[in-house]
Amino acid sequence: MIAPQVETPKYVLLDDAQRIGPEILALDSGQNCAAVYGFSDKQPYDTFCRNSEQSLTPYPLVKGYLQNQLEVAGDTLLFVVMDAAGPDEPILHASTMQCVFEAHQKQSPLVTVSHRLTKDEQSSAYRVAEYVLGVSPAIP
Residue 139 lies in a domain: no
pLDDT higher than 70, residue 129: yes
Residue 95 lies in a domain: yes
Asked if residues 102 and 67 have their Cβ atoms less than 8 Å apart, the reply is no
Residue 140 lies in a domain: no
pLDDT (tens digit, 9 = 90+) per residue, 96-128?
Answer: 999 999 999 999 999 999 999 999 989 989 999
pTM for the full model?
A: 0.90
- Domain containing 88: what range? 5-130
Asked if residues 111 and 99 have their Cβ atoms less than 8 Å apart, the reply is yes
For residue 1, the model assigns a pLDDT of: 44
Residue 135 lies in a domain: no
Contacts of 79 (CB under 8 A, 6+ apart): 21, 24, 33, 34, 35, 36, 94, 95, 96, 97, 115, 117, 128
Residue 121 lies in a domain: yes
Residue 118 lies in a domain: yes
Average pLDDT, the chain: 90
For residue 130, the model assigns a pLDDT of: 85
Q: How many domains are contained in the chain?
A: 1
Residue 57 lies in a domain: yes
